[in-house]
Amino acid sequence: MIETGYPKLTLHPGKDRSLRNRHPWVFSGAIKSKKDSIQEGTLVEVFDCDGNYLATGHFHHGTIMVRVISFNQRVIDQHFWNESLQAALDLRATLGLIKNSQTDAYRLIHGEGDDLPGLVIDIYGDCAVVQAHSEGMRRSLDAIGNALRNTPLQLNHIYNKSAEFSDQPADHPNGWLLGQAESSVVFENGRRFHVNWKDGQKTGFFLDQRDNRSLLASYVKEKNVLNTFCYSGGFSIYALTAGAKHVTSIDSSKKAIEWIQQNVELNKIAAEKHQAICDDVSAYLKNVKNDEYEVIILDPPAYAKHLSAIDRAVVGYRNINELAIRKIKAGGMLFTFSCSQAIDKQLFRKTVFMAAAKTGRRVRILHQLSQGADHPINLFHPEGEYLKGLVLVVD
């Protein structure tokens, strides 16, 4: 047994099964004993009731008390971080995302999916944007930054955007770990996008929808398309560059409307083929003429970020889907999504079913969608399958 010096936590009898099955969370109710003085974000080791080592992770005061970063007893040093990021990079190379002339924006680290709970790293050309969702990862930012510099990615900029995930954001301000650049233009499947990581949502762009945007492009030729909750226009740009007759993009954010107009110009799309509207999506859909759109995209923000909000979220998803199903042209396609982790794919499908049943229209599923492969789902952590999508044909 290695002596690391990390504080030790012992589990109650029978509470080690999930760790032995490699689930990366240890809940507070499973812990039998620990020191009272362990600080938030400290590296700790977890043992079963017989003293057998199980895992190493970051300690947190809360329901999830340990987030596991290793099931092998070892010192968590710079070598560990270098190895972890290289393993993630190797996977993205297998996916064809490294040195890809058509796509230079992708997710390098996806939390539990890359065995690093609480850490997200997105690559935008020569810039990496890092989000530490936990105090343990915030404490590790220097080592993570060093590991990024040690990769062959030739990064010129590394931006830490973790403040929004801290209870004390003033103590963890956003800032540069390397270089400095306000924004960038990136390629995704040959399309070009402005990405503003400092002011934009998440790390600046929704990379998880890349494959779903490509699928949309195969269905929109000569069709009128409505992209709701459009943000900076990922789905809109794909539709416009794939031959859509006309695309209407709608979002309640004025900044999003500005960004989508920039992306339309960046991709040299004729202005008359696109209209951007700043409005509430539900209000807009209620006033849309029946049969005006042959393709509608519903990609709302997370209606339920926690289990306590599920009931309200179900109502929200049901109502917005009912509106779209009522309004879409016969034979049209609805691309509908939920990014709420608390809503699993069975509940989302049931919710869309309830919406469709209220309309009386015939609705069939053509595709069931998820996040892109650079957002891998840890088989032992099903909670990581946060993005759910359905492609429906409405008669």
Among the residue ranges 69-73, 91-95, 161-165, 236-240, the one predicted with the least confidence is: 161-165
- The domain 8-70 is placed in CATH, from the list 2.102.10.10, 2.30.130.10, 1.10.150.120, 1.20.120.80, at 2.30.130.10
- Between 167-181, 263-277, 298-312, the lowest mean confidence (pLDDT) is in 298-312
Q: What is the pLDDT of residues 44-72, one digit of tens each?
A: 999 999 999 999 999 999 999 999 999 99
Q: What is the mean pLDDT of residues 117-145?
A: 97
**What pLDDT, on a 0 to 100 scale, did the predictor assign at position 218?**
98
DSSP state of 134: S
Q: Distances in Å between the alpha carbon of 125 and those of 160, 193, 196, 282, 387?
A: 16, 11, 13, 36, 24
Structure tokens given for 233: 């226009």
Distances (CA, A) of 169 to 111, 149, 227, 312: 21, 25, 34, 29
Query: What's the token pair of residue 270?
Result: 């004729």
| Segment 224-233, tens digit of pLDDT | 999 999 999 9
Give the mean model confidence (pLDDT) for residues 17-29.
Answer: 96
Q: What is the mean pLDDT of residues 334-357?
A: 94
Question: For helices 310-327 and 345-359, what crossing angle results, to 10°?
Answer: 40
Indicate the class that CATH gives domain 78-186. alpha beta
| Tens digits of residue pLDDT in 298-325 | 999 887 566 667 888 899 999 999 999 9
- The average pLDDT across 122-142 equals 96
Kindly provide the residue ranges of all beta strands, DSSP E only, lying in the chain, ordered along the sequence.
8-11, 25-27, 31-33, 43-47, 53-59, 64-70, 105-110, 119-124, 127-132, 157-160, 175-178, 184-188, 191-195, 224-228, 246-251, 274-278, 295-298, 332-338, 363-369, 388-394
Cα 127 from Cα 307, distance rounded (Å): 34
Torsion, Cα of 34, 118, 98, 267 (10° steps): 180
Least Cα distance to 135 among 38, 49, 201 occurs for 38
Per-residue confidence (pLDDT) for residue 305, from 0 to 100? 67
According to DSSP, the residues that pair with 364 across neighbouring strands are 393
CA 388 to chain centre: 11
pLDDT at residue 164 tops 70:
yes
Phi and psi, residue 225, nearest 5°: -120, 140
pLDDT of residue 304: 59
Coil/strand/helix, residue 259: helix
Domain with CATH 3.40.50.150 in the chain: 206-394
Average pLDDT in the 318-335 region?
A: 97
Q: Which residue has the higher pLDDT, 198 or 234?
A: 234
Residue 172 vs residue 395, higher pLDDT: 395
CATH dotted code for 206-394: 3.40.50.150
Confidence band for 152, pLDDT divided at 50, 70 and 90 = very high
Strands 191-195 and 53-59: unpaired
Give CA–CA dist 340/355, Å, rounded: 18
pLDDT at 187: 96
pTM value is 0.95
Give the percent of the chain with pLDDT over 70: 98
Where, residue-wise, is CATH 2.30.130.10 in the chain? 8-70
DSSP 309: G
What is the mean pLDDT of the segment spanning 19-26? 97
